[in-house]
Structure 1
């Protein structure tokens, strides 16, 4: 059961599904409307493993954040397209290692900021803002971001589960470069994209995303790797999510749906 349309905060159209709320519905959350649940049902009908895929995305985020703070020494993170709070959120994983780590959540859906504020009430090192990730100046120049983030020091920019939402006309490669260009040396990028595949499941998912939300632009491995142009890729490079520094090694190979998720982490020299 989700929330009633009457509870929609300003700026939220309960009849228009959002990526953040559809993800919430897929994960069994309650911060979603009927329109979001309808899309979630259609996605599950098209690709029954979609829930596993979303959880795989969450697990990848957790491993990436753990690497950034424990091995790369990052103490500031900007999480773009963060989505609604779930479990093991970016700030929770990061601040478990060091409570002083600073985290900014950015999402287009005002509900993300609303619920994150409740979660972060007593957390002076984390905040959430409502902004379009494609507007780099609005994000990096936001007063809250400018107050929390010291741009003279390394920052990690996370664009996981985000870039496949943007068509080529938005030039996502240029968008990545615009975020990384002003950042200090030693900053990191964590990014991903759904990968083009001839597999029927992949085609069904891409078609359903475009049909239900007008979003979902799968790209080739070469195109995804270009997000990290000019940076030093962290081992094991640009790989399928389960292959990126897994906690346990699996010998049985990747499931078909796991082959749709490609991402990596790189350091700005």
Structure 2
């Protein structure tokens, strides 16, 4: 994908520091969005030194989110979605996908980035079934007791929990990240689903590229963005029953690009597309 076009940065909303990189704004820059600043685009340009196609990390993550939500909305009877670390609104958000299939589906977005909070308020105006809550997704004990979340999500009924491109920004250990996800899984009733995507170290000839991108992410002003092996990503799902993937023909974590793609592949995957993976698991 081409670099984001040059632009003039607009005045920052109240509470937003344009001199510090933001995970949400960096992701927006990767998607060629307009809600980012020079400091955020600098992260993108540095990561592109390791992988020129680095923006495809974001586009594959977004494509996986869309396909997973479309599957869950059309193939299950679940009508409530908890989207953790939702980031900035794009052209195709979770509520757009699931409410197109079932307009009565409830979507609760959770984030604590000031720039996301500013934009999240606009989502509240779209319909009565879309909500935005400010909270820390890496503090599940507090989040799961958040009164506003519980006002819209019934934890006695099956729900979908989404951690799309979020856990690789947790700066603790792999075991701690798995423990965070374990608390969300424990709170999900039987019949619920979880969707997770994560930067991948494929443990092959692309491992060096993955670790180079990781170095640029972690040592950038953003300060996070770790790459995990497939077993480490699978550990985040705990004992959930994994949904099969169409390309690999077996359940588990796969490249985001391989998770039920929209059609036959005509082009070979590039390095970035081969270093982000995800999966969907069901609680029995």
Q: Give TM-score scaled by structure 1 length.
A: 0.93
Q: Distance in 2 between matches of 1:222 and 1:169?
A: 15
Q: How far apart are residue 15 of structure 1 and its match?
A: 1.3
Instruction: Tell me, yes or no, if structure 1 residue 235 matches structure 2 residue 238.
Output: no
Q: How far apart are residue 139 of structure 1 and its match?
A: 2.1
After superposition, give the CA deviation of every residue in 1:1-41 in whole Å (9 maximum; x if it has no partner). Answer: 2543x43322x322111110011122222212232122222
Alignment partner, residue 72 of structure 1: 76
Q: How far apart are residue 146 of structure 1 and its match?
A: 1.1
Alignment partner, residue 225 of structure 1: 234
Secondary structure of 1:262's aligned partner: strand
Gaps of 5+ in 1: none
Q: How far apart are residue 137 of structure 1 and its match?
A: 2.9
Select the structure with the greater relative contact order (CA < 8 A; seq sep ≥ 6).
Answer: 2
Q: How far apart are residue 136 of structure 1 and its match?
A: 1.0
- The partner residue of 2:64 within 60, 63, 88 is 60
Q: Distance in 1 between matches of 2:43 and 2:97?
A: 30
Alignment partner, residue 276 of structure 2: 261
Secondary structure of 1:259's aligned partner: coil
- The partner residue of 1:9 within 14, 18, 30 is 14
Q: Distance in 2 between matches of 1:42 and 1:68?
A: 36
Gaps of 5+ in 2: 1-6, 246-251
Alignment partner, residue 194 of structure 2: 189
Alignment partner, residue 259 of structure 2: 244
Q: Distance in 2 between matches of 1:120 and 1:154?
A: 23
- The partner residue of 2:111 within 89, 107, 111 is 107
Secondary structure of 2:97's aligned partner: helix
Q: How far apart are residue 174 of structure 1 and its match?
A: 0.5
Alignment partner, residue 182 of structure 2: 177
Secondary structure of 1:44's aligned partner: helix
Q: Distance in 1 between matches of 2:256 and 2:161?
A: 18
Alignment length (residue pairs): 267
RMSD of equivalent CA atoms: 1.8
Which of structure 1's runs of 4+ aligned residues deviate more than 6 A? Answer: none
Q: Distance in 2 between matches of 1:156 and 1:95?
A: 14
Q: Distance in 1 between matches of 2:173 and 2:61?
A: 25
Asked if the contact 2:211/2:227 (under 8 Å) is kept, the reply is no
Q: Distance in 1 between matches of 2:102 and 2:70?
A: 11
Q: How far apart are residue 252 of structure 1 and its match?
A: 5.4
Q: Distance in 2 between matches of 1:146 and 1:115?
A: 22
Within 5 Å, give how 1:22-61 maps onto structure 2. Answer: 22-61=26-65
Asked if the contact 2:81/2:106 (under 8 Å) is kept, the reply is yes
Asked if the contact 1:190/1:264 (under 8 Å) is kept, the reply is yes
Asked if the contact 2:55/2:272 (under 8 Å) is kept, the reply is no
Secondary structure of 1:111's aligned partner: helix
